[in-house]
Amino acid sequence: MTEDVLKEYLRHRAESSSKYHETKDGVYHASETSQCLRKLYYKRKAPEDKIPKDESSYPHFRLGHLIERIYFNALKHKHSYMHVRNSVPIRHEFDDFELVGQTDPVILGENLKPKRIYEVKSTSNIKYSKNEPSKHHVFQVHPYIAALQCPCSIVYIQKTNLSTATHEVNFDPSIFKASVDRLRELHKYLNDNKLPPSEPFSPKFECKFCSFSKHCNKDIDPRDID
Ligand code: SF4
């Protein structure tokens, strides 16, 4: 009974948040700049009721969201309420597609101009994030940095005891260009109805958690998923 109540709540929260990530033709999210193009193609082309749902990930997403909220409150406690904003929307327009996103907390300066972006990532084991941020996260924050024109701190927080590791990321035009080039490539594959190659952006873990691995291994077109 207790478990059912919890599962239903987590499902509800996951479904509400997935509405924000609903796909629109020609509009891509910052987090998609560093994902396997084939996986993104499957997500956008497969019939919605055929896209496998991974309910085991729901608790992790919820805990991650709560940890981000704690960090936001901690920043408001340190700075004045007026100088901390959450979920600042960003948007970049290119020829025939857009790159959009929403930040985690942003600190504003005296003139209310963005001064520092924080991107909060919860992790099960902080030791993997001690030395450097993941390339995947560095790509994700570049559209924020480019839009708000201030540096970003990627803050890793361990779920068990809230210990942290923080890495500053400054704007690197080559990373931003590579992000945009990936989206341009994806946009072309989608328009041409052509399955991209099976090349994960993060080979160490992306295929392991990919909902489409069994289709991908056989080069199945997403519209033929049954
Ligand atoms: S299994 Fe790997 S290569 Fe295939 S779509 Fe998923 S992430 Fe991409």
Q: Using CA positions, which residue lies closest to atom 3 of ligand 1?
A: 198
List C-alpha distances in Å: 60 to 57, 67, 121, 148: 5, 10, 11, 29
| pLDDT tier at 40, thresholds 50, 70, 90 | very high
pLDDT mean over 132-137? 96
Tally helices (H) and strands (E) across the chain. 6, 8
Which of 182, 199, 213, 214, when mutated, tests ligand 1's pocket best, judged by the most ligand atoms within 8 Å of its CB? 213
CB burial of 197-213 (b: ≥16 within 10 Å; e: otherwise) equals ebebbeeeebbeebbbb
Domains delineated in the chain:
23-224 (3.90.320.10)
Answer whether residue 116 shows pLDDT above 90. yes
| pLDDT tier at 21, thresholds 50, 70, 90 | low
Residue 33 · residue 125 · CB < 8 Å: no
The predicted pLDDT at position 47 comes to 83
> Interior CA angle at 25 toward 30 and 179, to 5°?
30
The predicted pLDDT at position 35 comes to 96
